[in-house]
Amino acid sequence: MIVFDKPKALTDAPLHYCPGCTHGIIHRLVAEAIDNLNIGGETIGVASVGCSVFTYNYFNVDMVQAAHGRAPAVATGVKRADPSKIVFTYQGDGDLASIGMAETVHAAARGENITVIFVNNAIYGMTGGQMAPTSLPGQVTQTSPYGRDTNTVGFPVKVCELLSTLDGAGYIERVAVNNVKNVKNAKKAIEKAFRNQVEGKGFSLIEVVSTCPTNWGKTPQGALEWLEENMLPYYPLGVYKDKFAKEAAK
Amino acid sequence: MADKILMKGNEALAEAAIMAGCRHYFGYPITPQTEVAAYMAKRMPKIGGVFLQAESEIAAINMVIGAAAAGKRAMTSSSSPGISLKSEGISYMAGCDLPALIVNVQRGGPGLGGIQPSQSDYFQATCGGGHGDFHLLVLAPSSVQEMADLVAKGFDLAEKYRMPCMLLADGTMGQMMEPVSLEEAKVEAHDKSWALTGTKNERRPNIINSLALQPNELEQWNEERFKRYEIVKENEQMAESYLMDDAEYCVVAFGIAARVSQNAVDAARAKGIKVGMIRPITLWPFPEKVLKAAAEKCKAFLSVELNMGQMIKDVKLAIDCKKPVDLCYRTGGMIPSPEEVLSAIEKMQKEGK
Amino acid sequence: MSTTEVLIAGFGGQGILFAGKFLAYAALLQGRNVSWLPSYGPEMRGGTANCSIILSDVQVGSPIVSKPDILIAMNLPSLDKYEKEAKPGASIFVDSSLIGRKVERDDVNVYYIPATQMSTDNGLETLANMILLGAVIDKTQVIPEDMIRPALEKVVSARHAWLLEKNIEAMNLGKNYKE
């Protein structure tokens, strides 16, 4: 008998996310990975600042809430304090790729044995829809009301491409959760990112291209379509780096 | 007692931290505290500890947050501009009730300032330093021996009261060598059931967090924290009194300023001036009790500082402005000479008569 | 009951801090109180360096030497800067191979020792500092002679143990130098 059940690694707290937001799916995939690897009792999560700040209420594991952008540094401290624990961060694009860029890059460069879940929806959600480091050229936001002008504010940051140049980074993959096929891929990738850590391999980051219907001004369905038409061409899905697979092949 | 050896203050405090059970140090180079990081880099790998040079002071303090959240004795060290960068993390640490040790080997400011000794981060340290309603425990050593002794004390107080502790030193304390006797500190076991150690699927998750969007909830957290601060104020004030028994005038100075002032007090005594000195060892909680008592019998006070006059405000508050309080200061990395302090004592005596 | 304040000043790289540390250890081994405070700055080599050492039978107050009882000047800028600060009756030791002028004050004891020249003449390059210290100890008894070897053992690392005899040789040169 197949029973559709809530993962043990999620609490009963109702999610506060907007209708059509994909955070809920991503939370579930992270929780399923934790359950499948049977590591919930040894996992410590690091919440970031932004819409996902309340992850400490949703994941049924020990959690610490980090300052804006600092989650990889906090995770480093936790992991170095007890390397037997499984430590992950859950961060948005403003947190990870803007204010926390230094912490992100250096955790990857050190090959810190942690798992980073990076949710990229090309906008600051919690503060009400400002331009993010990953907002697309021409994208209208509260702080780019005439569309992101690349002449004055430059171009979006492609995190997977950037990090894959670092020798320390182990496993870097970009996934999406806009359809069933992509959700299945995302599930595999996230679980692999955790398994890498369990096996002591090193730094894994999964970028999940995600939606923000509210701040994009779309319906939930419209947001998924916008993601497919605009986000995915700019942020192609795929494995950007898998140092561990290469090492295994040797 | 262990044999005395000559050590730099920076190295003595580092070794003292190891002896106090600290195995997690996260830092970033900055003059004049870099010896702490270098010492830890050498020692930690040999004793199974963690030394990590972070990408910035901001990252370093957040690594301390992580290790402290996991229940470990963790520390970082820096000097003034670096402490400003750490202030964000220090505020989070206070908001999360996390114990840890932060060392500030002060240099002149503001801005990039200079690299010579200073006490101009007094306000920053004693008023919390970051955003929000909070305090740090602030300990001010005035010898290399105290650089070492106050480390174990600092860790102990931090864990006892679940609050970050700052060792507020200065460039001379960090750079100078004096004989020091290092002894294995007795590590008090404090409750750490709040630490993140994994639920083992046996308990509800521990959550370490400073966010409360409901103002009444945040108000309650702050009120409770300040109740704890009141206990700290009541129990933990530390100061050293020097020649205060018959003193008619009182110098107040900490750290290197106290060392210089001691010479001046001796010189003034030789001239027949009945002056003594109160040296605060805890800057927060400020040693109000001993100052209040001194205000009953002293005619005037003199605050000696390596800044434009910061501690003087706490001196005035402590004695309810009952007696005049003069200021003797140098700033920018300059240190007053004993002669300058002596002149200030003589001036105080003339005015106080 | 006595306190001696020593100031050693010169260029970075002349062994100013090492000489100071040696004196400090000698006093420590006697059970005296002592402080050692270096100048610190952005220069690693070539810049000015000085070191305050206070040896005392009582607790040391300020570790900063502003009025030395003993001044060791290893370059001209240091003599220019600190000559006027020395206490009346102080002893000033001048490396006369690097400093061309004479001390102008007449209320101090002055010793001219061509320490740098002597160090190269005797194959003891880099030990001009210890040649000067040999003279200082002989003239001032700032530390007793029998503390020389134990103090050196504290400051010369085991890895450089062969340098210990060189240091003693240098100090003997300074001790026996006649102007």
Give dist(CA C20, CA C9) in Å, integer.
10
Give dist(CA A109, CA A107) in Å, integer.
6
B298 plus B168 within the same structural domain = no
Tokens linked to C72: 């060791």
B175 plus B244 within the same structural domain = no
**The domain that contains B251 carries what CATH number?**
3.40.50.920
Give dist(CA A95, CA A100) in Å, integer.
6
Give dist(CA A67, CA A71) in Å, integer.
7
Q: Which of B55, B194, B211 to mutate to probe the A interface, most A CBs <10 Å?
A: B55
- The pLDDT tens digits for B144-183 are 999 999 999 999 999 999 999 999 999 999 999 999 999 8
- The pLDDT tens digits for B196-229 are 999 999 999 999 999 999 999 999 999 999 999 9
Enumerate the H helices of C69-161 as residue ranges: 76-82, 115-121, 128-140, 148-155
B249 plus B347 within the same structural domain = yes
Query: Inter-chain contact A81–B200, Cβ cutoff 8 Å?
Result: no
Task: Output Rg (C-alpha) for chain C, integer angstroms.
Answer: 15
Q: What is the ipTM of this complex?
A: 0.93
Amino acid B260 reads V
pLDDT-derived band at B188, boundaries 50, 70, 90:
confident
Spell out the residues 6+ positions from residue B35 whose beta carbon is closer than 8 angstroms to its own. Answer: B8, B10, B11, B14, B174
In the predicted model, what is the mean pLDDT of residues B297-311? 98
Shortest distance between the Cα of C19 and any Cα of chain B, in A, equals: 13
Q: Is residue B282 part of a domain?
A: yes
Tokens linked to A162: 């950037």
Q: Is residue B88 part of a domain?
A: yes
Other beta carbons less than 10 A from residue A220's beta carbon: 14
For residue B62, the chain A residue with the least C-alpha distance is A74
Spell out the residues 6+ positions from residue C171 whose beta carbon is closer than 8 angstroms to its own. Answer: C130, C131, C133, C134, C137, C148
C168: part of which helix (H) or strand (E)?
A: helix C162-176
Give dist(CA A201, CA B304) in Å, integer.
56
Which candidate, C5, C54, C61, C53, places its Cα nearest to that of B255?
A: C61
Give dist(CA C32, CA C27) in Å, integer.
5
**The domain that contains B98 carries what CATH number?**
3.40.50.970
Which candidate, C106, C107, C172, C113, places its Cα nearest to that of C137?
A: C172
Question: Which among B56, B96, B198 has CB closest to A41?
Answer: B198
Query: Inter-chain contact B65–A62, Cβ cutoff 8 Å?
Result: no
Q: Is C36 helix (H, G, I), strand (E, B) or coil?
A: strand
Contact status, residue C141 vs residue C11, Cβ threshold 8 Å: no
Q: Is residue B211 part of a domain?
A: no
C-alpha distances in Å from residue A70, one per residue of A85, A96, B60, B61, B129 = 19, 8, 10, 10, 19
- The pLDDT tens digits for C117-153 are 999 999 999 999 999 999 999 999 999 999 999 999 9
Contact status, residue B277 vs residue B86, Cβ threshold 8 Å: no
Tokens linked to C29: 């081994």
Q: Is residue B214 part of a domain?
A: no
Q: What pLDDT is attached to residue B31?
A: 92
> Could you say which DSSP state residue A156 is in?
-
Q: Is A115 helix (H, G, I), strand (E, B) or coil?
A: strand
Give dist(CA B226, CA B223) in Å, integer.
5
- Interface membership of A83 toward B (CB under 8 Å): no
For residue B91, the chain A residue with the least C-alpha distance is A67
Q: How far is CA A63 from the centre of its chain?
A: 16
Give dist(CA A12, CA A60) in Å, integer.
9
Residues 149-178 of C with CB under 8 A from B: 154
Query: Inter-chain contact B260–C62, Cβ cutoff 8 Å?
Result: yes
Query: Inter-chain contact A70–B68, Cβ cutoff 8 Å?
Result: no
Domain limit, last residue, from B171, B205, B234: B234
Which candidate, C132, C101, C138, C137, places its Cα nearest to that of C114?
A: C132
Contact status, residue A51 vs residue A81, Cβ threshold 8 Å: no
B51 plus B166 within the same structural domain = yes
Q: How many domains does chain B have?
A: 2
Q: A188 in the Ramachandran plot: left (φ > 0), alpha (ψ -120 to 50) or beta?
A: alpha
Query: Inter-chain contact B6–C60, Cβ cutoff 8 Å?
Result: no
Query: Inter-chain contact B338–C28, Cβ cutoff 8 Å?
Result: no
B142 plus B252 within the same structural domain = no
With a cut of 80, say whether residue A250 has pLDDT above it.
no
- Interface membership of A208 toward B (CB under 8 Å): no
Contact status, residue C74 vs residue C95, Cβ threshold 8 Å: yes
C-alpha distances in Å from residue B91, one per residue of A55, B231, B309 = 21, 20, 25
With a cut of 70, say whether residue B1 has pLDDT above it.
no
Q: Is A11 helix (H, G, I), strand (E, B) or coil?
A: coil
Enumerate the H helices of chain B as residue ranges: 9-19, 34-43, 57-69, 80-95, 122-126, 144-161, 171-175, 215-235, 255-270, 288-297, 311-318, 338-352
Chains A & B: contacts with CB separation below 8 Å: 136
Query: Inter-chain contact C37–B263, Cβ cutoff 8 Å?
Result: no
C-alpha distances in Å from residue A74, one per residue of A68, A126, B68, B130, B202 = 11, 22, 10, 18, 25
Give dist(CA C82, CA C71) in Å, integer.
8
Query: Which structural domain range is residue B293 located in?
Result: 240-352
With a cut of 70, say whether residue B91 has pLDDT above it.
yes
- Interface membership of A16 toward B (CB under 8 Å): no
Give dist(CA C126, CA C11) in Å, integer.
12
Q: Is B156 helix (H, G, I), strand (E, B) or coil?
A: helix
In the predicted model, what is the mean pLDDT of residues A117-144? 96
Which residues of chain B have a CB within 8 Å of the CB of C87? none
Query: Inter-chain contact C34–B263, Cβ cutoff 8 Å?
Result: no
Q: What pLDDT is attached to residue C167?
A: 96
The β-bridge relationship of strands C33-38 and C48-56 is antiparallel
Shortest distance between the Cα of B264 and any Cα of chain C, in A, equals: 9
Contact status, residue B141 vs residue B147, Cβ threshold 8 Å: yes
C171: part of which helix (H) or strand (E)?
A: helix C162-176
Tokens linked to A119: 């949710």
What pTM does this model have? 0.95
User: Which parts of chain C sit beneath pLDDT 50?
Assistant: none
Query: Inter-chain contact B338–C40, Cβ cutoff 8 Å?
Result: no
Lowest mean pLDDT of A60-74, A191-205, B294-308, C44-58, name the range: C44-58
B152 plus B281 within the same structural domain = no
Q: What pLDDT is attached to residue C90?
A: 98
Q: Which domains does chain C have, with CATH numbers?
A: 3-176 (3.40.920.10)
B153 plus B245 within the same structural domain = no
Q: Is residue B202 part of a domain?
A: no
Tokens linked to B267: 């010189």
Shortest distance between the Cα of A170 and any Cα of chain B, in A, equals: 19
Q: Is A144 helix (H, G, I), strand (E, B) or coil?
A: strand
Q: Which domains does chain A have, with CATH numbers?
A: 23-249 (3.40.50.970)
B229 plus B248 within the same structural domain = no
Query: Inter-chain contact B177–C61, Cβ cutoff 8 Å?
Result: no
Contact status, residue C112 vs residue C174, Cβ threshold 8 Å: no
Q: Is residue B173 part of a domain?
A: yes
Contact status, residue B97 vs residue B162, Cβ threshold 8 Å: yes
B39 plus B172 within the same structural domain = yes
Which residues of chain C have a CB within 8 Å of the CB of B256? 62-63
B187 plus B82 within the same structural domain = yes
B27 plus B114 within the same structural domain = yes
Q: Is residue B203 part of a domain?
A: no
In the predicted model, what is the mean pLDDT of residues B74-98? 98
Shortest distance between the Cα of B59 and any Cα of chain A, in A, equals: 5
In the predicted model, what is the mean pLDDT of residues A184-208? 98
**Exposed, middle or buried, B160 (CB in 10 Å: 0-12/13-18/19+)?**
middle
In the predicted model, what is the mean pLDDT of residues B80-104? 98
pLDDT-derived band at B21, boundaries 50, 70, 90:
very high
Which candidate, B245, B227, B242, B233, places its Cα nearest to that of B289?
A: B233
Q: What pLDDT is attached to residue C43?
A: 57
B27-B30-B34-B40 Cα dihedral, nearest 10 degrees: 10
B276 plus B258 within the same structural domain = yes
Q: Is residue B210 part of a domain?
A: no
Tokens linked to A226: 């916008």
Residues 196-215 of B with CB under 8 A from A: 196-202, 205-211
Q: What pLDDT is attached to residue C141?
A: 96
